[in-house]
A = this chain, B = another copy of it.
Amino acid sequence: MQKPNIRPKPVKAISLADQVENNLIEYLNNNNLKAGDPLPKETELAEYLGVSRNVVREALSRLRMLGMIESKKRKGMVLSEPDLLSGVERVLYPNILSEESMKDIFELRLVLEVGMADLIFARLTEESIKSLEDIANREARDPGTNKLKTRLKYEISFHSKLYEMTGNNTLKRFQSMLLPVFNYMMEVESTLEHKPESGKISHFDLIETLKTGTPSNFRKNMREHLTPHYDRL
């Protein structure tokens, strides 16, 4: 007799809270509701969905965390513009994440910094270049750059400014969320034998490229600047 072609139970065990959550998100999306639109009361939702208010609140609690809804004491709940990154934010703790995830994030950074050249060029201003120069000059004059921590400070400062210059707030916020992750990886890296810092392209070189070069030049130079990190792949 042949084995029955049944996979050993998906073992879903989807809780009511899960179902209600999906249900609500679908509802919000399908009805084309916009920020500011009011939602039914908790008790109404509970009754309509045939579950306890408790379950509804667990689902709502999740949406509230993501910024999708806001609740006010007597007014009720309203839909609001969700925060793209607040869901990622809570998860980005190096101690909790796996090596695999950390690697993915690390690579993501390299991809972003090389890829964002066109955005930077499209929104280039005199002031922003000035800011970059200030940072690079302070770095050059600082006698403490033989210490990892000091180098890291300027490195972060410089690159953060570049993210800011893309004019893309999501990108910028994402980068600031990633900083703890990189600090963590840099500390790990610093225990290794080879120093992970000096590429052939300096911050001054990058600034010069912004002034007189093209996005393509900049990508190439940024890639070169990040070579010590790319070598880890």
Using known A-B contacts A81-B101, A88-B84, A170-B108, determine if residue A29 contacts B95 with beta carbons closer than 8 Å.
yes
Instruction: Write the chain B residue with the least CB distance to A111.
Output: B115
Question: In whole angstroms, how far apart are the Cα atoms of A220 and B215 in the complex?
Answer: 9
Q: In the complex, which residues 162-183 of chain A have their Cβ closer than 8 Å to any Cβ of chain B?
A: 166, 168-171
Interface string of A81-119 (1 = CB under 8 A from B): 111111111111101111011001101101111111111
* Residue contact A107 to B233, C-beta cutoff 8 Å: no
Instruction: Spot the interface stretch: A56-64, A130-138, A189-197.
Output: A56-64
Does chain B have a CB within 8 A of A46?
Answer: no
Q: Which residues of A are in contact with B by a Cβ distance under 8 Å?
A: 17, 21, 25, 28-29, 32-35, 54, 57-59, 61-62, 65-68, 79, 81-93, 95-98, 100-101, 104-105, 107-108, 110-119, 122, 166, 168-171, 215-216, 219-220, 223, 230, 233
Q: Which 7 A-B pairs have the closest CB atoms?
A: A87-B87, A115-B115, A104-B170, A111-B115, A58-B61, A82-B91, A114-B115
- The 8 Å CB contact of A61, one of B62, B98, B108, B122, is B62
* Residue contact A28 to B96, C-beta cutoff 8 Å: yes
* Residue contact A29 to B233, C-beta cutoff 8 Å: no
CB distance from A21 to the nearest CB of B (A): 7
Chain B residues near A32 (CB-CB < 8 A): 95
